Amino acid sequence: MSKLPRGLSGQEVVKALNKAGFYFKRRKGSHIILRRDVPFALVVVPDHRNIDTGTLDHIIEGADITVADFIKLLK
């Protein structure tokens, strides 16, 4: 299992998830809601400077992608 990257901002996570087919659905306060139609997934990304690794783990799990795939999307 790959290690989760540390020190990612919410905007960096959103950019990576956009590459995985997610698009902006709406925003509520400091949280960005992203959606993917096929296969369906809905994730909430906090728009913070640093996202905790536990939160990032839940985002990746909700997006139904692996940590290794997520790291590739960051590049």
Domains of the chain with bracketed CATH = 10-74 (3.30.920.30)
Q: Indicate the angle between helix axes 10-19 and 67-74, nearest 10 degrees.
A: 100
Distance of CA 27 to the CA centre of its chain: 14
What tokens appear for 28 in the block? 């509520």
Angle CA 20–1–58, to nearest 5: 55
Task: Report the C-alpha gap between 29 and 16 in whole angstroms.
Answer: 21
The single residue listed with the structure tokens 């659905």 is: 25
Q: What is the pTM of this model?
A: 0.91
List pLDDT tens digits, range 17-60.
999 999 999 999 999 999 999 999 999 999 999 999 999 999 99
pLDDT the model gives residue 1:
59
pLDDT the model gives residue 2:
72
pLDDT the model gives residue 15:
97
